[in-house]
Amino acid sequence: MEWIISDGLVPYPCALAVMEARAAAIAAGEADEAIWLLEHPPLYTAGTSAKVADLRDPDRFSVFEARRGGQYTYHGPGQRVVYVMLDVGRRGRDVRRFVQDLEHWIITTLDTFNVRGEIRAGRVGVWVARPDKPLGPDGAIAEDKIAALGIRLRRWVSFHGLSINVEPDLTHFGGIVPCGISDHGVTSLVDLGLPVTMADLDAALRQTFDATFPPLAAPTAAPAPK
Whether 224 shows a pLDDT value over 60: the answer reads no
Instruction: Please report, to the nearest 10 degrees, the dihedral formed by the alpha carbons of residues 137, 141, 145, 147 taken in order.
Output: -160
Q: Is residue 13 part of a domain?
A: yes
Catalytic: which of 38, 166, 179, 189?
179
Q: Is residue 25 part of a domain?
A: yes
pTM for the full predicted model: 0.92
- Tens of pLDDT, residue by residue over 176-211, are 987 666 678 899 999 999 999 999 999 999 999 999
Task: Give the CATH number for residue 200.
Answer: 3.30.930.10
Q: Does 122 belong to an annotated binding site?
A: no
- Tens of pLDDT, residue by residue over 34-93, are 999 999 999 999 988 888 888 999 999 999 988 887 889 999 999 999 999 999 999 999
Q: Does 44 belong to an annotated binding site?
A: no
Considering its fold, how many domains does the chain have in total? 1
Q: Is residue 47 part of a domain?
A: yes
Dihedral sign, Cα of residue 14, residue 20, residue 26, residue 30: negative
Concerning whether 179 is annotated as a catalytic residue, the answer is yes
Q: Does 149 belong to an annotated binding site?
A: yes
